[in-house]
Structure 1
Amino acid sequence: MQKDLENLINLLASKSINYYDFITKAKHINEINSLIEVKSFTMWQTLGLPIIKLDNGKVTLKTRETSIDEAIFCVVDIETSGGIKDGQIIEIGAVKFQNGKILDKFQSFAKAKSIPENIVELTGITLDDLKDAPALSSVIEKFKIFLSDSVFVAHNAKFDYNFISITSKNLGLGPLLNRAICTINLARRTISAEKYGLSSLKELLGINNAHHRALNDAISACEILKVCLKNLPWNVQSVEDLIEFSKNAKTVKIITPKG
């Protein structure tokens, strides 16, 4: 994401700004101008940014005003055939979550030409599993419709978010602009544990399902999110409060077992 775009989104996440100022700043962001008409809030929302115009004419993000209980979180996990430079997404799993309940699920393989043996061993996904899978472009397009402008959540969110965003951009579908939360960061501030990897937290919290498959891992991350949200301090009320808390609040004291 270009620095100017990142700065604009951070500004909107912190306060409302004049419509004219928003348009002026947005028009200087080439990455966005080449994709959408910056005056169209619907187009921004299609890219995942929950932008709104207030009754006073100012522009902001609805996540500033949306309570955590009202928010829709999309908890995501991907399996890939390698890194972003030498691999591709081969499976996406996601669950939409609101106020303690799962609203909907998304799961799809994506066609690939090859899968390294170590990835087959790790995930159990083979080329035979992908033989009838839809093209990656179709999977990303359908996933983005499912995601909409909900809050993107993942365990190690930077990896999943950036991989999907770069893939989407390379396919001509535009980057992701959704607000995002990492459950590793959030867990470090709400759950006392020795390790914060997905398998470690699953064991600590008694979450039992298969590991290294996208939908199962998304469901596991959703269960971790539930625990994190129950442990929030009272002053974390809105989605933007939650994002800020997940990044900058003090981490909890780690309890090391004796013996």
Structure 2
Amino acid sequence: MKQKLENFLNIIAHSSLTWQELISKAEHIGEISDFINIRDLCEWQGLGLEIAKDSSGRYELATRKRAISEQIFCVVDIETTGSIKSGQIIEVGAVRIQNGKILDTFESFAFAASVPDEITELTGITSTDLVDAPPLATVMERFKIYLNSAVFVAHNVNFDFTFISQTLTNLGYPELLNRKICTIDLARRTIPSHRYGLETLKQILGVQNTHHRALSDAIAATQIFTHCLNALPFSIQSVEDLIDFSKKAPMIRQKIKEPHLLVQ
């Protein structure tokens, strides 16, 4: 299903379809129809996809023509007890922004019976912090409502997006279908640097806050993302332009000065 879904998203992100074409291609995805009525565009939006009707009566992703300044982006970070296969989410932090302004934030612990020592050492989160935290299912449901159809942004987006999406499916919800952007990919095309880890980019841009806590890292990623947007070429106007640019534009790197050889 994953490849069929990617093909479908790529089509409606870069072209428009008649209603019959849209439904025909959506029907081939399979499992999606187990969760929604594919003929109801509001239900698609509930999965994170905003499909819109253009002036000619054809259908496409709203992000295909929407200006970057008009789009709501949701910058996300999570803390977990381990990998996607063996761990669980214990903290979610997110920032929604539009046109460079923060609209609101989301922050929540999620209950876990225990926290590995190495995670406590990294994040400062202990099992005691999670004793009164809401259940994971409650946090995921609240976050999904908060995210809605915003573009999902994260530093190393595949980790956060996949972990959250897999957690939702494990809890009986459909996977996320939101458009997504990686701030590492975007920074590689707009910020000269030797490295593109969060801490390195924070130092370059003068961002000072707590590291390895969900909301704090989401705020840092928001500042990096905003800096990248301000450095875009003028030709990048729509949200889909931005997504394509983050994946396909030439990468830039800071030139490393070779040390002078000492004369013996």
**Residues 218-242 of structure 1: CA deviation (Å, up to 9, x unaligned):** 0000000111011100100000000
**Residues 147-205 of structure 1: CA deviation (Å, up to 9, x unaligned):** 11011000000000000011111111211100000000000000001110000000111
Q: Following the alignment from structure 2 to structure 1, what is the Cα–Cα distance between the partners of residues 118 and 62?
A: 43
Q: How many residues are treated as equivalent by the alignment?
A: 259
Corresponding position of 1:50:
50
The one-letter code of the counterpart of 2:162 is N
The one-letter code of the counterpart of 1:164 is I
Corresponding position of 2:228:
228
**Residues 80-105 of structure 1: CA deviation (Å, up to 9, x unaligned):** 00011100000000000111110000
Q: Retained in 1: the 8 A contact 2:46–2:148? A: yes
Q: Following the alignment from structure 1 to structure 2, what is the Cα–Cα distance between the partners of residues 9 and 141?
A: 24
Q: Secondary structure at the match of 1:66?
A: coil
Corresponding position of 1:216:
216
The one-letter code of the counterpart of 1:32 is I
TM-score by length of 1: 0.97
TM-score by length of 2: 0.96
Q: Following the alignment from structure 1 to structure 2, what is the Cα–Cα distance between the partners of residues 134 and 66?
A: 36
Q: Retained in 2: the 8 A contact 1:19–1:58? A: yes
Corresponding position of 2:113:
113
Corresponding position of 1:169:
169
Q: Retained in 2: the 8 A contact 1:50–1:62? A: yes
Q: Retained in 2: the 8 A contact 1:81–1:115? A: yes
The one-letter code of the counterpart of 1:168 is L
Corresponding position of 1:40:
40
Following TM superposition, where does structure 1 have runs of at least 4 consecutive aligned residues deviating by more than 2 angstroms? 53-57, 255-259
User: Displacement of 1:257 after TM fit?
Assistant: 5.0
Q: Following the alignment from structure 1 to structure 2, what is the Cα–Cα distance between the partners of residues 116 and 69?
A: 41
Counterparts of residues 189-208 of structure 1 (less than 5 Å): 189-208=189-208
| Higher mean displacement: 233-242 or 111-120 | 111-120
Corresponding position of 1:97:
97
Counterparts of residues 238-253 of structure 1 (less than 5 Å): 238-253=238-253
The one-letter code of the counterpart of 2:234 is W
Q: Following the alignment from structure 2 to structure 1, what is the Cα–Cα distance between the partners of residues 120 and 32?
A: 37
User: Displacement of 1:53 after TM fit?
Assistant: 2.2
Q: Retained in 2: the 8 A contact 1:2–1:31? A: no
CA RMSD between the two structures: 1.1
Corresponding position of 2:80:
80
Q: Following the alignment from structure 1 to structure 2, what is the Cα–Cα distance between the partners of residues 25 and 9?
A: 10
Q: State which structure, 1 or 2, has the greater radius of gyration over its C-alpha atoms.
A: 2
The one-letter code of the counterpart of 1:150 is A
Q: Secondary structure at the match of 1:207?
A: coil
The one-letter code of the counterpart of 2:85 is K
Q: Following the alignment from structure 1 to structure 2, what is the Cα–Cα distance between the partners of residues 216 and 142?
A: 19
Q: Following the alignment from structure 2 to structure 1, what is the Cα–Cα distance between the partners of residues 201 and 145?
A: 30
Identity score, percent? 55
Corresponding position of 2:126:
126
Q: Retained in 1: the 8 A contact 2:194–2:253? A: no
Gaps of 5+ in 2: 260-264
